[in-house]
Structure 1
Amino acid sequence: MSDPISSAWDRLRECPQSTLFDLFGADPERVGKLSRRLDFALQGHDDVGMLLDWSKTHLDDPLLDSFEALATACGFEQARADLFGGGIANPTEGRAATHGAMRGSGTQPHVEEAEALLARMGMLVDAIHRGALGEVNHLIHIGIGGSALGPELAVDALTRDLSLVDVHVVSNIDGLALEQAFAACDPATTLVAVASKTFTTIETMTNAASALDWLGKNGVSDPGGRVIALTANPERAVEWGVDETRVLPFPESVGGRYSLWSSIGFPVALAVGMEEFHALLAGAKAMDDHFRETDGRANGPLLAAFADQYYTRLRGCQTRAVFAYDERLAMLPDYLQQLEMESNGKGVTIEGAPVSAPTAPITWGGVGTDAQHAVFQLLHQGTALVPVDFIASIAPGDELDPTHHRQLLMNCFAQGAALMAGKESDDPARAYPGDRPSATILVDDLDAATLGALVAFHEHRTFANAVLMRINPFDQFGVELGKAIAGQIDSGEGQFDASTTALMAAAGLR
């Protein structure tokens, strides 16, 4: 007898597959069934409104019924309760995942700890803005992975109009990245934030040492006094030389790619102020509440995960594309690459058994309308079936002639319509097959609260996918092997394949 999870997948495989054209023709209520309007009234902050439209996917009632049965078989409700209740959400490392507590979603002890840590950050941010550390015009934020991608996304999205402090995020060990930041900053008015969970990440610490050297060589008498440490290992930061008053800790149970809400968000708060940072948290908290309190297909992130699973496991799609029709979200595809691929790019289940089907697809994307003239040829006429997410804002981010934003939105909506409808032609080179899926997230405006809700939506979507696949989204051992081998190359130890040995010799590393 098969287990409930296998039975649920068998039922899903037996569901008939219909074209998008047939699905719309058979159900005049389809848009209403597969769209969600989410409106969040936030106390003390602007309200958040967004429309989630998954009607141009191949989901239908039989599939949704079967996916809801799969969620039940996989223990979705208990897994969700464990996530918010401080249970072991990361079984391979025996940890909770408490990033939600940083925005007020979690157990009382975790939330109280988060509030205290954020209050500490707020005091330092306010002190800097008041001039307690002298004139501060620039911040060089040094991190890698989630310690850089989250802050860079938020700073880029929220500082198009005004920035209290000019922030430069550096993650690459390539010295050119750091030199570009140096060239844009006055060392006399520059702070350096070093973001590392362990405060041992070799790329981050190497860049940090070079930043201090740059400050010292350019007239700063106490370079160490210009450093802010963002870490879950405050003792190590103090040992490295950071003054204890300038160490901003965050909990060990907050993973790097989920750490924007913690002190890793310091550059965001410094750039836009603590009030805006709290709006970011409030928007994420509102999405937490929706995800926690809503069941089945009415749950926006879970509905998105149903579609993800359908295309990855039932239709064999190896990639998913994300296109932001808003310059303020230019960094979102990069951010989602790490969130989704590092979280769910796994090969074993939470029990340690090999997975029996594909896990995370390759996430990629770009910015509309640029991408239309670069990669959309493949989406419309290529041989690969690629589910597409479109993300846009009803309110423009510019003050130019409204025709700019009108054309932007027209292009966004037209691409989804064209992917679905296709076009017949007697000339095969001019024919479009159509029946290609897309989803659209349309926000009322893109402010701090909306950005928080949008990022939290994708966090929960990623988590829901992991539960449906029975994998752990909160570990990332796959990044360790390459680091270990790089260390062996650096130390001159270890035996390597002939190709690697030849490359090291050609580069002068051996």
Structure 2
Amino acid sequence: MTRDEAWNALALHPDPTLEELFAADPDRVDKLSTRLELRGGEAPLGIRFDWSKTHLTDTLLSEFEALAEACDFAGMRAKMFTGEVVNPTEGRAAEHTALRGVGKESSVEEAAALLERMKLMVEAIHGGVFGEVKHLIHVGIGGSALGPALAVDALTRDGAEVDVHVVSNIDGVALEAAFKACDPATTMLAVASKTFTTIETMTNATSALKWLADNGVDDPTGRVIALTAAPEKAVEWGVDETRILPFAESVGGRYSLWSSIGFPIAVALGYADFQAMLDGAAKVDEHFRDTDGRANLPLRAAFADLFYSRLEGAQTRAVFAYDERLRLLPDYLQQLEMESNGKSVNVDGLPTGPTAPITWGGVGTDAQHAVFQLLHQGTHLVPIDFIASIEPGDMLDAAHHHILLMNCFAQGAALMSGKHSDDPHRNYPGNRPSATILCDDIDAMTFGALIAFHEHRTFASGVMLGINPFDQFGVELGKEIAKKIEKGGERFDASTEALLKAAGVG
């Protein structure tokens, strides 16, 4: 069967409601809910993935399995884990899993050596080798900032070894906020850029060095740790080679928090917790590598994603974390999913159909009072992921967490069932899909597993769409035009010219 034949077969699916699917199959929850164990023993830890409130059926799952086979999903997955080229437009492998100890043996060994170098740096900082260090300003953008920001925010609610501030925006207001929160005498600077030429990052880094110098730091560059795949560029910029933490060229930006880009995470948490994050991701890597068909959790999630975006016309997918610790997760997933699969041509350069939906979301219960009106009674089909933790992240009265979880589960039930009323203003149509990811707790290991799950889910979707999820040429055009504006001597459209004149730019 070819890819097109597999898609054509899927297009002929019946359209039962969710309530009809539950009524027809008493085993539906067991079939579409799976617990992934991350740790056994006296303190077991795991995550429950419940896709039963989606429209997946046994027939659809079989047809999606046929699609995966037609797309050589197993072959592409093997290529990724063995370090072969899976990014054909740039001629690169994608070896982020090697950083977690799963991949080509030589790549795993190289990654372990680089992470050991980072570990020694982290221990040196915590041990006082660089003097008293209370603050770290981490400058990066995109994948060099979103992952560290999410992890630090999620995992340091009970305190941090070092106070970390992640700055990505070129808007000076963001950097000034970090300056106000830090004492320059006890602050280090991490500069994260794969190429060490990213204009936003390098401009922020230069301003941070000036801030250190202006506030009495004798050797500002001596406070810099460079995180890059281009160490020679960092040396040219002035960073001593002993303070450069490299990572492999085969690690893409939005997959890089496992590498030295995760340095601020390790500084904030301590290296033991950073290692736990890697270990949690490795558990998902092994499951994804070794499990076939619908039992493969990231692949099953990709089946549902493609069903709604490709066959049902859903243009967005929403993620609601019913946990304040994961408030930045929708931002992180926006880049992971939309930069990876937001393409309009396949690997052969030919036009393709709908690819990545727009990823968006928020935090429950805040979102219930902001956007859920549209989700319950609006005209858009929006598949939803709910993410929650059984263990609370606070020490307050248990009522707080009890109400939080009640609301999370109630929203999924209400979206599915709806409520009929003769008053059209109070009628809820129901039959609106959702999935639930229920964690035992939000700790470093669970966090690593959650991120790896979404990485593999994104990869699986890309393979079945026939696109390359590892390039991102779409982010370059605007940057090229900005450089032309800065250089001057070139004319643009009338609107842009008027805006440049009004702002005094260019």
TM-score normalized by the length of structure 1: 0.98
Aligned to 2:486: 490
How big is the shift at 1:351?
Answer: 1.2
Provide the rounded CA distance (Å) in 2 between the counterparts of 1:102 and 1:387: 32
Provide the rounded CA distance (Å) in 2 between the counterparts of 1:5 and 1:330: 38
Aligned to 1:81: 78
How big is the shift at 1:405?
Answer: 0.2
TM alignment of 1:228-307, pairs within 5 A: 228-307=225-304
Aligned length: 506
Provide the rounded CA distance (Å) in 2 between the counterparts of 1:509 and 1:263: 36
How big is the shift at 1:494?
Answer: 2.2
TM alignment of 1:474-489, pairs within 5 A: 474-489=470-485
Aligned to 2:196: 199
SS at match of 1:346: coil
Q: 2:173 aligns with which of 172, 176, 182?
A: 176
Provide the rounded CA distance (Å) in 1 between the counterparts of 2:119 and 2:153: 21
Q: CA offsets per residue over residues 106-147 of structure 1, 9 Å max, x none?
A: 111000000000000000100010000000000000000000
Structure 2 residues not aligned, in runs of 5+? none
SS at match of 1:14: coil
- State yes or no: 1:320 paired with 2:317: yes
Aligned to 2:38: 40
Provide the rounded CA distance (Å) in 2 between the counterparts of 1:48 and 1:171: 33
How big is the shift at 1:47?
Answer: 4.7
How big is the shift at 1:434?
Answer: 0.3
Provide the rounded CA distance (Å) in 2 between the counterparts of 1:102 and 1:444: 25
- State yes or no: 1:29 paired with 2:24: no
Aligned to 1:465: 461
Moved over 3 A (4+): 45-48
Shift of the 268–275 alpha-carbon distance from structure 1 to 2, 3 Å rule, reads: same
Aligned to 2:498: 502
Aligned to 2:2: 4
SS at match of 1:229: strand
How big is the shift at 1:352?
Answer: 1.2
Identity %: 71
Aligned to 1:418: 414
Aligned to 2:119: 122
Provide the rounded CA distance (Å) in 1 between the counterparts of 2:489 and 2:406: 58
1:325/1:390 contact within 8 Å kept:
yes
1:48/1:283 contact within 8 Å kept:
no
Provide the rounded CA distance (Å) in 2 between the counterparts of 1:245 and 1:46: 40
Letter in 1 for 2:280: G
Provide the rounded CA distance (Å) in 2 between the counterparts of 1:382 and 1:490: 44
Letter in 2 for 1:423: K
Q: CA offsets per residue over residues 484-503 of structure 1, 9 Å max, x none?
A: 00000001132200000000
Aligned to 1:144: 141
Provide the rounded CA distance (Å) in 2 between the counterparts of 1:101 and 1:494: 45
Aligned to 1:406: 402
Q: CA offsets per residue over residues 404-461 of structure 1, 9 Å max, x none?
A: 0000000000000000000111111111010000000000011000000000000000
- State yes or no: 1:365 paired with 2:361: yes
Provide the rounded CA distance (Å) in 1 between the counterparts of 2:274 and 2:339: 26
Provide the rounded CA distance (Å) in 1 between the counterparts of 2:465 and 2:422: 43
TM-score normalized by the length of structure 2: 0.99
Structure 1 residues not aligned, in runs of 5+? none
Q: 1:15 aligns with which of 13, 16, 34?
A: 13
Q: 1:348 aligns with which of 341, 345, 348?
A: 345
Provide the rounded CA distance (Å) in 2 between the counterparts of 1:208 and 1:53: 44
CA RMSD of aligned residues (A): 1.0
SS at match of 2:335: helix
SS at match of 2:11: helix
Provide the rounded CA distance (Å) in 1 between the counterparts of 2:146 and 2:57: 35
- State yes or no: 1:210 paired with 2:207: yes
Aligned to 2:377: 381
1:42/1:283 contact within 8 Å kept:
no
Shift of the 412–360 alpha-carbon distance from structure 1 to 2, 3 Å rule, reads: same
Provide the rounded CA distance (Å) in 2 between the counterparts of 1:150 and 1:47: 26
Deviation larger for 197-206 or 46-55: 46-55
How big is the shift at 1:4?
Answer: 1.1
Aligned to 1:447: 443
SS at match of 1:230: strand
Provide the rounded CA distance (Å) in 2 between the counterparts of 1:47 and 1:117: 30
Provide the rounded CA distance (Å) in 1 between the counterparts of 2:391 and 2:300: 26
Provide the rounded CA distance (Å) in 2 between the counterparts of 1:196 and 1:405: 39
Provide the rounded CA distance (Å) in 2 between the counterparts of 1:414 and 1:199: 47
SS at match of 1:366: strand
Q: CA offsets per residue over residues 219-239 of structure 1, 9 Å max, x none?
A: 101000000000000000011
Q: CA offsets per residue over residues 272-317 of structure 1, 9 Å max, x none?
A: 1110000000000000000001100000000000000000011000
1:46/1:449 contact within 8 Å kept:
no
Letter in 2 for 1:440: T
Provide the rounded CA distance (Å) in 1 between the counterparts of 2:356 and 2:476: 19
Provide the rounded CA distance (Å) in 2 between the counterparts of 1:253 and 1:18: 44
